[in-house]
Chains A and B, each alone.
Chain A
Amino acid sequence: MNTTNKILSVKHLSKIYNTLEGETNCLSDISFEVNEGDFITIIGPSGCGKSTILNIIAGLENKYQGNVNFTSNCEIGYMLQEHSLFDWLTVEENALLGLKIKKQLTKENINYVISLLKKYNLYEFKNSYPKNLSGGMKQRLALIRTLAFKPRILLLDEPFSALDYQSRLSVSDDVYKIIKNENKTAIMVSHDIAESISMSNKIIVLSKRPATIKNIHNINLSINKGPIENRKAKEFSTYYDQLWKEIDKND
């Protein structure tokens, strides 16, 4: 995990929205780098423009100033706020949706998705519909759908925000382990300090609008067993206090 292989650099990113009420400065001079294997969390007050950064990286927003450079040609997977499964499609069809849309339904890709479904205990439900799955299974399925076309970078936009606290813990543990297992690089947006510390090796703290980078923390926990266990690390509360103070001032 300590590779220093840089795969993405964001330089002097700014974004201005034009509305009838006037110009809104959304992002202002955001710069950071992402190395292979990183789990980076972007944290900041709600509405500060965290998701906009992900949208720009994903190529969903084209109007911005600054540069987003990938060091190699890499596929990006985007996991949205809610699992957004299609209830009229079966589990398997949902998992294959991205491939179908991208016209990449090759035998190899299908087999890969099936292997993921098997590995993460969803294969026996492949012909059922999402409504029959538990919250955690839905989230795993959404992640498999994202992993289907083998992205190197995963973008996670508050992926657990729709869940209650208990499920949030167990699902984040699930998702974290899958991401690490599949050797993916991840950039997550969150407003939960504990979640951020427990999952990431780097936390970018944003200010309120227009969002600037307040600080970038490198997180080094003595325990590395996934989000639930990581919370027991002795450094956890120190990081928590630091971040709490930083974010609190902004509100």
Chain B
Amino acid sequence: MTKEQKKFLKKQKIYKRLILITQVSLFIFLILIWQILSDKNIINSFITSSPRNIIKTLITLYKENNLFFHIYTTLKETLISFTLTTIISLIISILLYHYNFLSKVVEPYLIILGSMPKVALGPIIIIWIGANIKGIITMAILISIIVSIQSIYNGFIQTDKLKIKLLQTFKASKKKILLNVVIPSNKETIINTLKINISMCLIGVIMGEFLTSKAGIGYLILYGSQIFNLNLVMTGIFILLILSVILYYLLILFTKEKH
């Protein structure tokens, strides 16, 4: 390695580290400001809560055996709706790809359903499905599934035509084309859709828990706001933040290329 190359690499390393250090210190700085401002009573900690109060609330929840119960509830609902969304949207995308007529018929319906705010369907879901975990999961699926179908299907129809033609020269059936070209060449699209799905499902679950629930982080936040306990609200949001980051990175870890 030349001297210049070494110098260049060192510079890049320093630059990267500088970004990380700035990111972390910005976070610490904001938390500190928040704490100091509420300690000095410049902001009203009854309304804004404070980092210390959030930690205290977390400890209380943990001591009351409530912390992991609520996290577990939300996590369970999210993972169930994520799995169902993924499976259903993959199946529907395959069907739409396979039956051109069907996809043409369904197209305007997908657009309408996609552009409609699904939260508005909340009350109907509660009446039809029930004010329970099933209703919450339905809500989450509804919120995520249309986008999921649209992006996977769009990926499918944009598959390299030459690769498809190549398989046709091997006299491959439509099924073989799907399994050997369309799905493998859309691996990237599918993984990206999963990343969107996991956060959309979490949004849907929280929406659902706002509408109807006895447990979960959405319930915690809503309950906190009803009794005007802003510490509880902020703690709920904080847990949610951690949860969504963990879910996102777990997904990246699971879908990472082996080679």
Contacts and interface: CB of A to CB of B under 8 A. Distances in A.
B187 A88 contact: yes
A129 B162 CA distance: 19
A101 B162 contact: no
A86 B170 contact: no
Interface size class of A (residues with CB under 8 A): 10 to 19
A47 to B, nearest CB: 17
A101 B176 contact: yes
B190 to A, nearest CB: 13
8 contacts: A60-B168, A77-B169, A80-B162, A84-B160, A84-B163, A97-B170, A97-B180, A101-B172
B166 A84 contact: yes
A70 to B, nearest CB: 16
A82 B165 CA distance: 11
Nearest to A148: B170
B162 A78 contact: no
Contacts of B163: 84, 86
A98 B171 CA distance: 9
A102 interface: yes
A58 interface: yes
B180 A101 contact: yes
A60 B169 contact: yes
Contact of A86 (B169, B171, B184): B184
B167 interface: yes
Contacts of A86: 163, 181, 184-185
A81 interface: yes
B172 A60 contact: no
Interface string A72-116: 000011101110101010000000011001100000000000000
B170 A102 contact: yes
Contacts of B169: 58, 60, 76-78, 80
A191 to B, nearest CB: 18
A77 B181 CA distance: 19
Contacts of A129: 259
Contacts of B167: 101
A102 B259 CA distance: 28
A86 B186 CA distance: 12
Given A58-B169, A60-B168, A129-B259, 19 more contacts: A60-B169, A76-B169, A80-B166, A80-B169, A81-B162, A82-B162, A84-B160, A84-B162, A84-B166, A86-B163, A86-B181, A86-B184, A88-B185, A88-B187, A98-B170, A101-B167, A101-B170, A101-B171, A102-B170
